[in-house]
Structure 1
Amino acid sequence: MNSADPFEAFCAAVCTKVRWPFARWDITQELTDHLRDHAASLEEKGLSPEEAQSQAVAAMGDPAELGRALDRVHSPLWGLTFVLLRLLILCLVFLLLENIFPYRPFSTLTSHFYEPVHTIQDRLDRGAQLIAQIPLDQWRQVDTLRIHYTNAYLVYQEPTGTRPPYWLYLEGALWQEDPFHQVGDLSYTSSYQPPSPITFSDNLGNQYDFSGEWYVGYLDPQASEVYLDYDQFGRHYRLTIPLDWGDAP
């Protein structure tokens, strides 16, 4: 359109009365389409293009009055309310996704790797003794979660009361292939969190109540094997860990 176009001039006059700037483009498009359709209908009746455009514009009435009517429909208050509502909905959706998928990146990745050497070194610095490093190299699968248990470390720590002073630390990694599928918490579990899906026992029938998913304490020195059992949502697996007591004190 050029500046002499009567449709453009009419729409500009209407939009000067519309205060909400984001409504002006839609109003201009709607009015222009209506004017073009009316002018085309008049041309089919024999009017020249100039006459058809002039009569189409005249049929719309006073542009200032039309603009004020449209301003009431597209008031700044309603427009601003609509924008704020959309922003609120986006924020709520974002917060909902954050709560449903916490700390879950949207790709396949190594989601957790536990290497207990720093914990063990801290114990050794305080008088503990590393009895044995036990190679495992065992894989387990829970739906889309793959777990690789690489090593176990048998450690003698200072006795606490009458309980045995032997602890077992596991080393390994987790791969989460589907970031949207929650299969259970395999990170550290304390008494302030939901019950752990992991339990420990041994070949003598001892059950170890105090445990995290990657360590267990107060092992019976007569046991030759420790069993890690995962049980949650109908998914089960067992990891058998042979104990190498060597020259344990």
Structure 2
Amino acid sequence: MLSAKSEEFLQKVLSYVKFSFDHRAIKDELENHLIDRMQDYEEQGYAEEEAEQMAVRAMGDAQEIGRELNREHNPIIGWLWRTSHFLVVLLIITNLYFVGLPIANAVGDTLMKINPAAGIPKSNIVYNLPVHQKVKLDNTVINFTNLVLEKNGDLNIFYRYYDTSLWGGGWSLGNIGIITDNLGNRYYNGSGSGGGGLVSTCRRTINHFAPNADTLIISYDYFNRQYRVEIPLKKVKENEY
């Protein structure tokens, strides 16, 4: 739990954001960023209180951050978004009632922030495996959060990434690396998607994943930046696939 000092910092940032409907989402995102930075400092050996103070200082000036966020969360654009969002939901309800057509993609991005597998029908999921693997490339921290295996053989890799310098010269993460398994299979086919913000939430889908693989391996080695992540997988029964 964050201290009163950190809460004061967050409230000061929010005081500059005029569109109050976005306050909760902004605060959640800033809290996640702050907590992740605290954990980084604690892993370096700093005590919890000192790590929190360092994390707050590293976030930067609350006024500068608040004004930048206020530009991004313009009230006019915000109201237009809320109105269009309401119309989209109304359209979905209308189609479901009169036609019965699924239009899940229209709300997929919103639901993805709550549940990574929200856009995948439960009946198609073999397993949803929580993952807690974090790596760092320069100032960019990548946090792998979930693996979702579907009955059609697609394996979805969900992850978040952010720039620890916050307003520094971070780079966009367009590739998480080479994906293999413990059986020696290398996966090329698939797709990817992601969202913006201080913390980007992304999804990488690979096709025809081997059901008998025990470990997923992600290896990154580009421009002298390297990491390797090995994620143990759940055992899959024949009747589950």
Task: Quickly name the TM-score band, shorter chain normalised.
Answer: 0.3 to 0.5
The structure with more helix, counted as a fraction of residues: 2
Larger Rg: 1
What is the TM-score with the length of structure 1 in the denominator? 0.36
